Amino acid sequence: MRKFFFLLKLLFLFLKKKKIIQSNYNIGKKTWFGTGGKAKVFFQPECLNDLSLFLKVIPKKILIYVIGSGSNTLVRDGGMSGVVIKLNNGFSDFFYDKKKKVIKVGGGLKNLTLIKYCLKNSIGNFEFLSGIPGTIGGSLKMNAGCFGQTISENLISVDIINRSGECLFFKKEDLKFNYRNTAILSDWIIVSAVFSAKKSNTTKIQHYINKISTIRKKTQPISSRTSGSTFQNPESYKVWKLIDKVGYRGKKLGGAQISEKHSNFLINNGNSSSLDIELLGEQVREKVYSETGIKLDWEIIRVGKFIKN
């Protein structure tokens, strides 16, 4: 046992020297809400070998949380124990195989980067991703979507590293994609994905991207500190309509507010705590349920230690 902890310490020092691991990292400020506490350990692997070795050595009792760009995450004010992993630039590569008509992308690649590449190379059916901030891995994990499309529609397969540091391969049908949910476990890390890549007209692609941008600017608080849609749409209902029905559009709690522009968006007005945001969200859920009997499920991922003042 003593030898094990000695080796663990050596690994930590090795990774710290490479400047890819930090202690007490202010992870909350890196999310789109810009609120919340620190991560006890923050690890940004640059390559598959570092990631796999780290997961094999770290004891299984230590919790692992994977974060993409932080665009759909609320870190609670009490911070996060365990290890937060964010894939670094080594997982942001992509390769377009023109003959096979597929594109392979890293799990850490930003959606916007993929969109720009697809536009430049006249690859269609990815335009909707311009309306989804985040990374490919994070988007796949929750089967993100908007404007009638989801990221899994073009998917062929994914490569994943599990909690034990083992590399796994899955075809799309193995992962049971449905509305904002998949069979991908919370501590699995998507390191790459393969999508079908069909040619399209560049002008058509640009027109659709422009259309999405116009709609978002008109209907969403994109200039505010927000993490996008707060709650999942219940079957046959639109959340924003339910929130409007109970009169909660624009409601405030501390520095948090339900957006006047789109009532399914919680925003940080500049001085909000994570507690303000979460409690306001819970107030919405309780009010909607008491008046309509409909339960709202969070779409935003809440992590860390809950501390109530």
Residues of the chain with confidence (pLDDT) below 50: none
Q: Last residue of some domain: 66, 89, 112?
A: 89
Q: Please tell me which residue in 163, 180, 216, 302 is annotated as part of the active site.
A: 180
Known active-site residue 153:
no
Q: For position 308, what pLDDT does the model report?
A: 80
Residue 48: helix, strand or coil by DSSP? Answer: helix
The domain of 73 spans 1-89
Amino acid 209 reads I
Known active-site residue 299:
yes
Residue 80 domain flag: yes
User: What is the rounded distance in angstroms from the CA atom of residue 259 to the CA atom of residue 218?
Assistant: 13
Is residue 165 domain-shared with residue 128, that is, in the same domain? yes
| Paired tokens of 169 | 């391969």
Is residue 131 domain-shared with residue 111, that is, in the same domain? yes
Residue 217 domain flag: no
CATH number, domain containing residue 260: 3.90.78.10
| Paired tokens of 269 | 């007005």
Q: For position 18, what pLDDT does the model report?
A: 73
Q: Please tell me which residue in 52, 69, 229, 273 is annotated as part of the active site.
A: 229
Is residue 77 domain-shared with residue 98, that is, in the same domain? no
Is residue 73 domain-shared with residue 96, that is, in the same domain? no
Question: How far, CA to CA in Å, does 36 sit from each of 67, 156, 242, 274, 285?
Answer: 14, 36, 28, 5, 21
Q: Last residue of some domain: 89, 121, 147?
A: 89
- Residue whose token pair is 């000695």: 6
- Answering whether pTM is above 0.85, one says yes
Please write the tens of the pLDDT for every residue from 12-65: 666 776 778 899 999 999 999 999 999 999 999 999 999 999 999 888 999 999
Residue 182: helix, strand or coil by DSSP? Answer: coil
Is residue 142 domain-shared with residue 78, that is, in the same domain? no
CATH number, domain containing residue 165: 3.30.465.10
Is residue 81 domain-shared with residue 97, that is, in the same domain? no
Please write the tens of the pLDDT for every residue from 211-238: 999 999 999 999 999 999 999 999 999 9
> Residues with Cβ < 8 Å from 293, sequence gap 6 or more?
none
| Paired tokens of 176 | 């049971």
User: What is the rounded distance in angstroms from the CA atom of residue 117 to the CA atom of residue 94?
Assistant: 9
Is residue 197 domain-shared with residue 236, that is, in the same domain? no
User: What is the rounded distance in angstroms from the CA atom of residue 239 to the CA atom of residue 241?
Assistant: 5
Residue 286 domain flag: yes
Is residue 245 domain-shared with residue 185, that is, in the same domain? no
Q: DSSP labels for 14-28?
A: HHHHTT-EEEEE-GG
Residue 109 · residue 117 · CB < 8 Å: no
Amino acid 176 reads K
User: What is the rounded distance in angstroms from the CA atom of residue 119 to the CA atom of residue 3?
Assistant: 53
Say if strands 73-75 and 301-303 run parallel, antiparallel, or are unpaired. Answer: parallel
Known active-site residue 223:
no
Is residue 108 domain-shared with residue 194, that is, in the same domain? yes
Q: Please tell me which residue in 71, 272, 274, 299 is annotated as part of the active site.
A: 299
User: What is the rounded distance in angstroms from the CA atom of residue 69 to the CA atom of residue 51?
Assistant: 18
